Structure 1
């Protein structure tokens, strides 16, 4: 009786239904991994986690108090027009003084060019959250969820092989797409 029920199942219809439903479920995961993947791939071009706003201020004709760091810090803060608390300061070089502020900002004084450079760092909340998921920097349980997602992607890849029968299936001329999908990453692996 069990064997007769197995014979009555339309396996192509079941495969198509499961492929569709798993595919719909994976859309959110795919969007998260795609967006954060693009952001992480281009981390040499920009910082996907933080936005850095830089302002340069000309400070010509100022008599900087370079012999007293505390007095110099007060001068720098006054000239940069900021009331933020100071975290730390140090001399990067004999002509470069840097002040770190509590609001993820810093001010650099270049004595050679008489300029102040104010950098304000702001988190990119959405990218930061997506990148943490992509790079597994969250809870240990996310690793289990991402492994399940990887298994669903494997299912989608394998079930797609049985979506269409006959000459339009993957084992005819459309098999070239499968080979190309394997060959392109292989080329980059062996380069």
Structure 2
């Protein structure tokens, strides 16, 4: 039986998962900023509206459903809320935002952004086969990381001399983030 070579395993797993690593990194960056913009959707149409809103206490599920019908939105209301002086309704491909005081608002319709929406779907997918593949991917990333520590065997840049300090710093950063910022 041939001995497993860390350098070859590291290289081959790196090559095999290169596309997935880039895709996950790209979609992960987009997911980090999804509250600031709609990375998986882009505006197809924005339409100004003027609505008379009832008092905030009367804004409920029934009101949201009726308003959606009145605005000719043929989609189920995912959520609605009043926050920071705005009444907001969210649908799969449409958002409505209305100023509570003035009644002025906007209906924004979206369509999926090609490639970006598909890569972000990978991050959110919960099908069993994808979960198993993602587990294999995660294990492979651990193997890539460990084999990377074994690649430099001599000199001042080995894991024993220098690498462990950098690895510890890399480990401390997310731990500190979890402790102090979450």
Equivalent pair of 2:46/2:107 in contact (CA under 8 Å): yes
* Equivalent residue, structure 1, for 2:72: 100
**Counterpart in the other structure of 1:161:** 149
What SS is found at the alignment partner of 1:119? strand
* Structure 2 CA distance for aligned equivalents of residues 165 and 159 of structure 1: 11
Indicate which of 42, 45, 55 corresponds to 2:33: 42
Q: 3-state SS of the aligned residue for 1:90?
A: helix
- The 3 A distance-change label for structure 1 pair 184 and 116 is closer
After TM superposition, give the deviation of residue 90 of structure 1 in Å. Answer: 1.9
The structure number with the bigger radius of gyration is 1
Q: Distance in 2 between matches of 1:134 and 1:106?
A: 23
**Alpha carbons of structure 1 residues 101 and 142: separation in structure 2 relative to 1, 3 Å:** same
Name the structure 1 match of 2:120: 131
- Contact 1:107–1:118 under 8 Å retained in 2: yes
Conserved? CA contact 1:19–1:156, under 8 Å = yes
**Partner SS state of residue 173, structure 1:** helix
Mark the CA change 1:116 to 1:46 in structure 2 (over 3 Å): closer, same or farther.
Answer: closer
CA distance in 1 between counterparts of 2:107 and 2:29 reads 29
Kindly state the Cα deviation for residue 122 of structure 1 after the two structures are TM-superposed: 1.5
Q: 1:107, 1:176 → 2: CA distance?
A: 51
Q: 1:87-120 CA distances to partner (integer Å, 9 max, x unpaired)?
A: x7528xxxxx96033495578898x869673422
C-alpha contact 2:149 2:163 (8 A) present in aligned 1? no
TM-score (structure 1 length as normaliser): 0.63
Q: Structure 1 stretches of 5 or more lacking a match?
A: 60-65, 67-87, 92-96
The alignment status of 1:180 with 2:169, answered yes or no, reads yes
- Residues 149, 99 of structure 1: alpha-carbon distance in 2 compared, 3 angstrom cutoff: same
